[in-house]
Amino acid sequence: MREVATLRTVLSQNVIDAAIAPPLMTARGLGCSIKGQRLVRDVDLTIRQGRRTVVLGPNGAGKSVLLRLLHGLLPASEGTVLWRGNPLGADAQDGQAMVFQRPVMLRRSVLANLNFALKVRGFRGPERARRAAQALEMAGLDHLAKRPARVLSGGEQQRLAIARALATGPDLLLLDEPTASLDPAATARIEALIGQAHASGVTIVMVTHDRGQAQRLADDVVFLQDGRLAESGPASTLLHSPRSDAVRAWLDGRLFVTTPQTQP
């Protein structure tokens, strides 16, 4: 326990270097085919504890599919995903939470949405109430606790979705374009929330289209092109001196079109 607390302290200072941060999740030769179409193929990557990994790439590159594969929402057609060195299972499910591009709000109040997620994870009584109150405060939604979740604005709904995901205390938070179609003010609040989660020791994997957001948030970057890993590495390197043509073209705002590949 002491080791975990120590690690969290270190992580909260955000000083863990990519080289020494222990791997939380690894994917080897990961691929996914749906209806004969290979959406993701031959992806090798390591998600390191306490790091913020941003997944970049053009539309249809397989970013959301990759996130779902890592979270176990889609079965891998090939390769493996390991969570703390073990295949995905109940342990991984307890340690992960995912927020979708379009937040899914239960037809209940804001507070009831939080309580449901906590109840599912087995939190009861005062502990559940404490966590729900903490999540509301963190998301800045305490004044809206009794409001139906579906009448909230897009930004508020996404903040609630993130707070709901964080309330259960995951080690890894997966975010699929959480700021898509939000205005700058709402985006800033979401980014602050993600920053808060990261500062408390939560590892982040986030899909985005936004280069600026990647620069603001990423420690590591994974760039996908046509379902393949085009390049990955520390953000400071990849976003400034990329090795691959795909990333260079994307950073320059040029169209990078490859010939579509069919399944062999």
Partner 1 sequence: MSLVAGWDQALSEIVLLSLQVTLSAVFVSCLIGLPLGAMVGAFRFPGRRPAILIMNVLMGLPPVVVGLMVYLMLSASGPMGVLGLLYTPTAMIIAQTVLVTPIVAALSRQVVEDLHQEYSEQFTSMGVGPLQRIMALLWDARFSLLTVVLAGFGRAVAEVGAVMIVGGNINHVTRVMTTAIALETSKGDLELALALGLVLLLIALLVNLVVMTVRGTAARASYA
Contacts to partner 1 by CB under 8 A: 68, 71, 73, 90, 93-94, 96-98, 100, 104, 106-108, 116-117, 119-121, 148, 150-151
Minimal distance, residue 117 CB to partner 1, in Å: 6
The encoded tokens of residue 261 equal 């590949």
Minimal distance, residue 112 CB to partner 1, in Å: 10
**Residue (159 or 228) nearer to partner 1, CB:** 159
The encoded tokens of residue 188 equal 């800033």
Per the CB < 8 A criterion, the answer to whether 53 and 221 are in contact is yes
**Residue (81 or 221) nearer to partner 1, CB:** 81
For the CA atoms of the chain, what is the radius of gyration? Answer: 18
CB neighbour list of residue 182: distance below 8 Å, 6 or more residues apart: 154, 155, 158, 190
The encoded tokens of residue 90 equal 């109940």
Minimal distance, residue 99 CB to partner 1, in Å: 9
The encoded tokens of residue 1 equal 């326990």
Minimal distance, residue 57 CB to partner 1, in Å: 21
CB half-sphere exposure, 36, CA atoms < 13 A? 2
**Residue (84 or 216) nearer to partner 1, CB:** 84
Note the helical H segments in the chain.
2-12, 63-71, 90-95, 110-120, 125-139, 154-167, 184-199, 211-217, 235-238, 245-252
Note the helical H segments in 221-261.
235-238, 245-252
**Residue (77 or 93) nearer to partner 1, CB:** 93
**Residue (74 or 249) nearer to partner 1, CB:** 74
H or E segment to which residue 26 belongs: strand 23-34
3 state DSSP class of 66: helix
**Residue (65 or 235) nearer to partner 1, CB:** 65
Paired with 176 in beta bridges are 207
Minimal distance, residue 77 CB to partner 1, in Å: 18
Minimal distance, residue 93 CB to partner 1, in Å: 5
